[in-house]
């Protein structure tokens, strides 16, 4: 590792790179980083870079909560060790490079609060059962001129949704995004003007789960830098206004055994593929506590906004929190995947993927049979109709999410006792902050957090 890091540092320095962002995401989904000089990369790859252990109990507003006894004092240090094989020069910040990190204890031993390690462990456990996964994110975000107080009063493009006309005024920004994503090693499926106010969406190509989480963090860095270069600011917040569609970071996954996509079927998934869908649906309330965990997340999950307010699944049903995307003769049968719509930028991408894989893997192991898919919008049904069909609302408040998480040892156990305690303490701190504030103030306070 030292040899590889030294060689990479030498090449980057010759290309004009001065430093490297060592990046991770905290329990609010907020990217954090340390920059090391390029000459210090090789040493960091071996010994890491010091950081406080309290990043695990930062809340969404940078307040530190001591409610979790495992991190109940300001004492303690960890080491951030860069994953050198994921090192990238940043096209939009050419004097800097970027690498994700593993968080380890001060003596180099595993640290139970490292979210990337949680995902790596989950992938390994599934592999022991003969399962592999592919995952990719769709990223929605809003743009506004830099320095604007909010997106709603100063939208970065006028719409209409999905129109090429909407992006004419952002032509240079779009061109930079396409260039910088390719230069940073990120493959985009497509990019377009989305439904919300000044909203754009781009989709990242599917890859292995750990790389997908890494890519999500690198994509944020790439978008923010490109926006700044063109006098814009990008908001990934779950909500930018109370009356508009929010930003989902939809998570697509597929599960494979011996090079066969288990979600492929003549109509809907069968056998182990059905078990994967059934496992996700069974654990959806607890999953959502991890994949859409912020207070604005719960405000986004409303009927009629393609966000997923009720627990059900459907085939190409964009109101469903679990949307099955089948393969076809045109796309190929292996295109089949399942999209989780109750996911946004306030989720730690490593934890989000870890719990999704755990739920689906358990569904396969236990042969969980999902109910029939629903093609309608249950939000348009009466409460009695939803009760008859067994369609329940997803948790609508932080307290309900916490209860769903605690009631599901399968999902809570993925995090482990230490990380679960820190995660819950952070969510409680956020909820206490929000309890004293109006919805408009809550939305405004999260606009630039992610």
Per residue in 52-97, pLDDT (tens digit) is 999 999 999 999 999 999 999 999 999 999 999 999 999 999 999 9
**The tokens of 306 are what?**
């393609």
Q: Collect all residues with Cβ–Cβ distance below 8 Å to 3 and sequence separation of at least 6.
A: none
Decide if 63 contacts 78 (C-beta within 8 A).
no
pLDDT digits (tens, 9 = 90+) for 259-305: 999 999 888 999 999 999 999 999 999 999 999 999 999 999 988 88
Decide if 447 contacts 346 (C-beta within 8 A).
no
What's the confidence (pLDDT) of residue 307?
85
Closest-CA residue to 311 (of 371, 238, 244, 251): 371
What's the confidence (pLDDT) of residue 3?
87
What's the confidence (pLDDT) of residue 343?
97
The helix (run of H) or strand (run of E) holding residue 227 is helix 209-229
CATH 3.30.590.10 fits 122-446, yes or no: yes
Question: How far is residue 33's CA from residue 98's CA, in Å, rounded to a whole number?
Answer: 9
Decide if 237 contacts 449 (C-beta within 8 A).
yes
b vs e for 307-344, b when ≥16 Cβ sit within 10 Å of the residue's Cβ? Answer: bbbbbbbbeebebbbbbbbbbeeeeeeebbbbbbbbbb
Lookup result for tokens 């995952």: 135
Taking CA 237 as the corner, what is the angle to CA 236 and CA 241, rounded to the nearest 5 degrees?
120
pLDDT digits (tens, 9 = 90+) for 225-258: 999 999 999 999 999 999 899 999 999 999 999 9
Question: How far is residue 337's CA from residue 389's CA, in Å, rounded to a whole number?
Answer: 25
What's the Cα-to-Cα distance from 42 to each of 6, 38, 61, 90, 112, rounded to whole Å? 5, 8, 33, 19, 25
What's the confidence (pLDDT) of residue 266?
82
pLDDT digits (tens, 9 = 90+) for 381-424: 999 999 999 999 999 999 999 999 999 999 999 999 999 999 99
Report domain extents, the chain: 2-111, 122-446
Rounded to an integer, what is the distance from CA 173 to the centroid of its chain? 23
pLDDT digits (tens, 9 = 90+) for 213-225: 999 999 999 999 9
What's the Cα-to-Cα distance from 158 to each of 149, 151, 221, 229, 438, rounded to whole Å? 17, 11, 25, 20, 28
**The tokens of 130 are what?**
């003969």
What's the confidence (pLDDT) of residue 267?
85
Question: How far is residue 137's CA from residue 163's CA, in Å, rounded to a whole number?
Answer: 22
Decide if 325 contacts 267 (C-beta within 8 A).
no
What's the confidence (pLDDT) of residue 303?
84
b vs e for 415-443, b when ≥16 Cβ sit within 10 Å of the residue's Cβ? Answer: beebbbbbbbbbbbbbbebbeeeeeeebb
What's the confidence (pLDDT) of residue 1?
62
pLDDT digits (tens, 9 = 90+) for 97-155: 999 999 999 999 999 999 999 999 999 999 999 999 999 999 999 999 999 999 999 99
What's the confidence (pLDDT) of residue 298?
95
SS3 sequence, 295-360? Answer: HHHHHHCCCCCCCCCECCEEECCCCCCEEEECCECCCEHHHCEEEECCCCCCCCHHHHHHHHHHHH
What's the confidence (pLDDT) of residue 332?
85
Closest-CA residue to 261 (of 277, 278, 250, 249): 277
pTM reported for the whole predicted model: 0.97
Identify the CATH number of the domain defined by range 2-111.
Answer: 3.10.20.70
What's the confidence (pLDDT) of residue 115?
98
pLDDT digits (tens, 9 = 90+) for 331-387: 888 899 999 999 999 999 999 999 999 999 999 999 999 999 999 999 999 999 999
pLDDT digits (tens, 9 = 90+) for 175-213: 999 999 999 999 999 999 999 999 999 999 999 999 999
The helix (run of H) or strand (run of E) holding residue 272 is helix 272-282
Number of H helices, E strands in the chain: 13, 15
């Amino acid at each position: 590792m030292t040899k590889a890091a030294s060689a990479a540092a030498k090449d980057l320095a010759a290309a004009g790179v001065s430093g490297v962002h060592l990046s991770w995401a905290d329990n609010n989904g907020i990217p954090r980083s340390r920059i090391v000089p390029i000459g210090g990369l090789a040493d960091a790859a071996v010994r890491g870079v010091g950081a406080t252990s309290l990043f695990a109990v930062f809340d969404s507003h940078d307040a530190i909560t001591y409610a979790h006894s495992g991190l109940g004092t300001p004492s303690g240090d960890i080491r951030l060790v860069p994953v050198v094989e994921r090192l990238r020069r940043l096209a939009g910040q050419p004097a800097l490079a970027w690498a994700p990190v593993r968080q380890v204890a001060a003596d180099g031993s595993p640290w139970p609060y490292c979210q990337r390690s949680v995902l790596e462990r989950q992938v390994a456990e599934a592999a022991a059962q003969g399962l592999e996964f592919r995952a990719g994110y769709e990223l929605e975000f809003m743009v506004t001129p830099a320095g604007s107080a909010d997106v709603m009063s100063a939208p970065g493009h006028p719409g209409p949704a999905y129109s090429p006309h909407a992006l004419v005024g952002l032509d240079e920004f779009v061109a930079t995004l396409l260039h910088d994503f390719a230069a940073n090693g990120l493959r985009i499926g497509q990019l377009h003007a989305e439904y919300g106010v000044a909203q754009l969406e781009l989709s990242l190509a599917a890859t292995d789960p750990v790389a997908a989480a890494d890519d999500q963090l690198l994509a944020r860095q790439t978008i923010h830098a490109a926006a700044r270069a063109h006098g814009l600011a990008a908001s990934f917040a779950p909500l930018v206004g109370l009356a508009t569609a929010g930003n989902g970071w939809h998570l697509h996954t597929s599960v494979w055994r011996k090079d066969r996509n288990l979600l492929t079927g003549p109509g809907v998934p069968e056998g182990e593929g059905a078990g994967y869908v059934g496992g996700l649906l069974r654990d959806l309330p607890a999953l959502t506590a991890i994949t859409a965990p912020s207070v604005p997340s719960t405000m986004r999950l409303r009927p009629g906004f393609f966000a997923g307010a009720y627990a059900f699944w459907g085939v190409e049903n964009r109101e469903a929190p679990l949307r099955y995307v089948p393969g076809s003769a045109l796309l190929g049968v292996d295109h089949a995947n399942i999209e989780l719509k109750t996911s946004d930028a306030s989720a730690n991408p490593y934890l989000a993927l870890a719990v999704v894989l755990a739920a689906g893997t358990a569904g396969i192991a236990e042969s969980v049979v999902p109910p029939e898919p629903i093609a309608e919008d249950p939000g348009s049904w009466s409460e009695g109709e939803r009760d008859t069909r067994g369609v329940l609302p997803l948790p609508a408040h932080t307290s309900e999410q916490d209860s769903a998480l605690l009631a599901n040892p399968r999902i809570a156990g993925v995090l482990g006792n230490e990380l679960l305690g820190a995660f819950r303490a952070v969510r409680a701190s956020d909820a206490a902050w929000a309890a004293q504030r109006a919805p408009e103030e809550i939305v405004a306070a999260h606009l630039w957090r992610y």
